[in-house]
Amino acid sequence: MNTFKQIGAVTAMNLRSLPQRLGTSLVIVIGIAGVVAVLVSVLAMSAGMVKSMRGAGRDDRAMVMRNGASNEMSSNLTREAVAVISDAPGVKRDADGKAIYSSETMTIILLTKKDGTDVSIPLRGVGPNANALRPEIKILEGRMFEPGLNEVIVGKGARAQYSNVELGSELTVRSTVWKIVGVFDSGGDIHESELMTHNVALQNAMRRGGGAQSVTVMLDSPAAFATFKDALTSNPELAVDVASEREYFAQQSSRIAPMLSVVAYVIGGIMAIGATFGALNTMYSAVSTRAVEIATLRALGFGATPIVISVLVEAMLLSLLGGAIGAFLGWLFFNGHTVSSAAGGVAGESRIFNLYVSPTLIVIGISLACFIGFIGGLFPSIRAARLPVATALRAN
């Protein structure tokens, strides 16, 4: 019998005996399923945060901030700078010839989560043309705020997570009372974590002068970005940084997502070590209980290689089953689940996003399961192949 036929015969024999070793086999499956489910669920936080932040960015919108500012909170632009930015070449104009842009101010306010935890969230002041700038923002309930009035609209994600932000509720910020007049949807992007109001009203309440912290403009097309950027960065009267909106949010997410990924891999790594030892113990036990079978096969002329491969195949199939179950459970219970980060924003504020179990995460989880199965089956398979035939038969 050639090697391949021997591998097939021994592997089939091992798999047929699995029902007799159901308890020990389930140890591998359940242990690895737990590892993969935890790893996938924690990585889904990082993937969800990235998807939420990058989903807010478009290539035909550009953001302008003060030179050297790392985010909107650390930026400041004068009223004169805002006027120059809005009049720059490449900025799209509406039917009336008005530039489509929004000069924006952002401040952090305290809200209480429904579990009683106090968190910081952003209140964003936007310009009067913000609707044309961000057509993805749709009012679900109520109405849009009136320019100049102390009225706000709340993202549907924020409303779901926080107390006292229902339609018609009132908030007190810096001794100023704000009324919630609308609830908006923005397609699941990062803005659903925010409250929005008119920029001038917010600046008056915060006792700030004119100008803004950032300016977001709609471009004629993505190709117009280079012209727009060159016009601003070459202007000696301005000291600004210009980025496409997609680029800006990609930069912000790249600062946050790695921290979540590190946490996921540390937790998953610790659990994977435990699962590997569990797999080793189970496969050593399986080899020990089948020592006579293995010795008999060796006596009948079966080589060491088929035995090694058959034990490895068994361990990896059990691990693959556990990995698939764990990935499915991670997707079933966590994909699309809304969470809020304690400090997931660009300035330490809480952000709301949906967990995202991507195909990549499923591949990572199942790959880890196969790795655990390989390590867990390798050493027991070598032991099985080296088991002296006479010793095993005498032990019986």
The neighbouring-strand residues paired with 112 are 118
Q: Is the pLDDT of residue 291 over 70?
A: no
Claim to verify: residue 229 and residue 85 sit in the same structural domain: yes
Whether residue 379 lies inside any domain: the answer is: yes
DSSP string, 221-251: SGGGHHHHHHHHHT-TT--EEEEEHHHHHHH
Report the share of the chain in percent with pLDDT over 70.
Answer: 89
The yes-or-no verdict on residue 8 having pLDDT over 80 is no
Same domain, 280 and 173: no
Among 60-64, 117-121, 187-191, 301-305, which stretch is predicted with the lowest mean pLDDT? 301-305
Task: Mean pLDDT check: name the lowest of 50-54, 166-170, 194-198.
Answer: 50-54
Do residues 202 and 123 touch, judged by C-beta distance below 8 A? yes
- Among 294, 283, 245, residue whose Cα is nearest residue 374: 283
Residues 327 and 263 in one domain: yes
pLDDT number for residue 74: 87
Q: Which residue carries 């202007």 as its tokens?
A: 235
Q: How confident is the prediction for the chain on average, in pLDDT?
A: 84
Residue 345, pLDDT above cutoff 60: no
Residue 326: pLDDT band with limits 50, 70, 90: very high
- Pair 122, 149: CB distance under 8 Å: no
| Per-residue confidence (pLDDT) for residue 309, from 0 to 100 | 81
The half-sphere exposure of 111 on its side-chain side, counting CA atoms within 13 A, is: 29
Instruction: Please determine, for residue 390, whether its predicted confidence score (pLDDT) is greater than 70.
Output: no
* Residue at 75 is within a domain: yes
Answer whether residue 184 shows pLDDT above 90. Answer: yes
Residue 143 binned pLDDT confidence (cut-offs 50, 70, 90): very high
Name which residue leads in pLDDT, 54 or 157: 157
Summarize the confidence of residues 94-102 as an average pLDDT. Answer: 92
Average pLDDT for residues 78-91, to the nearest whole number? 94
Assess if residue 61 is contained within a domain.
Answer: no
Closest among 22, 42, 176, 56 to 109, alpha carbons compared: 176
What average pLDDT does range 146-169 have in this prediction? 90
Residue 241: its pLDDT value, please? 94
Are the CB atoms for 99 and 105 separated by under 8 Å? no
Whether residue 105 lies inside any domain: the answer is yes
Instruction: Round to whole Å and give the CA distance between 46 and 41.
Output: 9
Q: What sign does the CA torsion over 49, 356, 187, 216 have?
A: positive
pLDDT of 344 above 50: no
Ranked by mean pLDDT, the top range of 195-199, 262-266, 352-356 is: 195-199
pLDDT bin (cut points 50, 70, 90) of residue 341 is low
Q: Does residue 60 sit within a domain?
A: no
Q: Are residues 217 and 271 in the same domain?
A: no
According to the model, what pLDDT value does residue 349 have?
59
Report if residue 249 sits inside a domain: no
Residue-number span of the structural domain to which 228 is assigned: 68-238
Contact status, residue 151 vs residue 200, Cβ threshold 8 Å = no
Whether residue 229 sits in one domain with residue 289: no
pLDDT exceeds 60 at position 89:
yes
- Whether residue 132 lies inside any domain: the answer is yes
Rounded to an integer, what distance in angstroms lies between the CA atom of residue 216 and that of residue 104?
A: 8
The one-letter amino acid at 4? F
* 103 and 216 co-located in one domain: yes
Q: For the chain, what percent of residues have pLDDT higher than 90?
A: 34
Is 269 found in the same domain as 297? yes
* Single residue among 206, 238, 270 that ends a domain in this structure: 238
Q: What is the DSSP letter of 26?
A: H
pLDDT(69) > 90 = no
* Length of the chain counted residue by residue: 396
Cα gap 105→125, rounded to integer Å = 5
The answer to whether the beta carbons of residues 44 and 265 sit under 8 Å apart is: no
pLDDT of residue 266: 84
Assess whether pLDDT exceeds 80 at residue 307: no
Based on the fold, state whether residues 280 and 340 are members of the same structural domain: yes
Based on the structure, what is the number of domains in the chain?
2
50 and 72 part of one domain: no
User: Is residue 389 a part of any domain in this protein?
Assistant: yes
Torsion of CA 45, 188, 331, 361, to 10 degrees: -50
pLDDT of residue 380: 78
Specify whether 141 is located in the same domain as 223.
Answer: yes
Are residue 89 and residue 124 in the same domain, yes or no? yes
**pLDDT higher than threshold 90 for residue 70:** no
What pLDDT score was predicted for residue 220? 95
Give me the pLDDT at residue 228, please: 96
Q: Check whether residue 17 and residue 127 sit in a common domain.
A: no
